[in-house]
Amino acid sequence: MKATARLNQLGQSLWLDNITRKMLGDDTLAGYIEELSVTGLTSNPSIFDKAISSGDSYDAQIAEVSAAAQAGEGVGANVDERVFFELAVADLQDATKLFAKVHERTDGVDGWCSLEVSPLLADDAEATTEQAALLHAKAERENLYIKIPGTTAGLTAIEETIFAGIPVNVTLLFDDAQYLAAADAYMKGIERRIEAGLNPAVASVASIFMSRWDVAVADEVPSELRDKLAIAIGGRTYRAYSELLASERFRRLQNEGARAQRLLWASTGTKDPDASDTLYIEAFASPFTVNTMPEPTLLAFADHGEIGQLVPDDGGNAELVLRQFADGGIDVKALAARLQGEGKQSFNKSWEELLSSISSQLG
């Protein structure tokens, strides 16, 4: 049995952090579902930029939808955005079909794909909420998450979007405090639905980014602490997640029919060339969570991954390791805020590069 299948049997969902029209058409993704236990998919602007700019798979549709986009039809603030969302929605409609059986078999717990709102709206709650609704309605897929960043404005948009009954993948989270803020926004949306007499079973995941922690401190810590900060942050966050699921507040919601917002491990590709290429997959093996993996990481884990101890509910030795970083002058709270800010800037840059790629093809 492949390591991917063993990990899935232990209760973790394995999602692919990639999408291209080619992998949809040549059965690559179907093969991952069948052979590597992949049960979902995430996307982002950088992934779509690489897919659109690296071949001619999208040329025909770009030509087809450009006139309508120029006439103001579609979702987006400008022609390039409107064209992109047409391309992305088409791909994700095809991807969600491939995961429809998983979605049905798990009664909506798994089998999800994700589409991101424009990152340029990260500080505009109203615009984010509006675009989330438009994109979800346009896609017409019940197993599609709309990705919303866990920024200050994003938290308001998350609550409103959940209240509207739209599934949300909260992105751009880096530590337990940011995760808990996102979870609070999710539960507020559910609580409002219950008060309004609406169905509280609205799905969500909260995506915490891991590898960027170790990249950020790689030149500031001794060798014995190298590649250990992300794992410690993950342990602390998993403890917060476990405590929240056992909390009185969540259990009241669960009793009304609410679903748990699952924790999702993101940015799990190893950046350190001297570290194991399956480092973050093995470190974050944990039931009732999701691990979304870049394609090379998925293939590496399927080939030679090993599963040891699962993440303990109490986070294991996370606090001990984090004290070592604190003693070394690393302020993890300040670093989490910095990483979220840098992540927002990185997403904006990727978005602009994506739109530039589309603009160059429009001529």
Q: What domains sit in the chain, N to C, each tagged with a CATH number?
A: 3-362 (3.20.20.70)
Q: Given this model, what pLDDT does residue 67 score?
A: 87
Question: Residue 2 catalytic?
Answer: no
Residue labelled with tokens 């539960």: 187
Answer yes or no: are the C-beta atoms of 260 and 287 closer than 8 Å.
no
Cα 115 to Cα 66: distance, rounded to the nearest angstrom:
21
The list of the chain residues with pLDDT below 70 reads: 363
Please report the pLDDT score of residue 363 as a whole number. 64
Q: What are phi and psi of 91, to 5 degrees?
A: -65, -45
> Quick check: 264 and 206 in contact, CB under 8 A?
yes
State the catalytic residue, choosing from 147, 228, 333, 349: 147
Closest listed residue to residue 164, CA positions, set 128, 111, 207, 121: 128
344-350: Cβ within 8 A, 24+ apart:
344/119, 344/122, 344/149, 344/151, 344/172, 347/44, 347/45, 347/119, 347/122, 347/149, 347/172, 348/119, 348/120, 348/122, 350/44, 350/45, 350/46, 350/49, 350/119
- Rounded Cα distance between 227 and 193, Å, is 42
Q: What distance in Å separates the CA atoms of residue 153 and residue 284, rounded to the nearest whole number?
A: 29
Amino acid sitting at position 150: G
pTM for the model: 0.96
Among 132, 149, 154, 169, smallest CA distance to 339 is for: 149
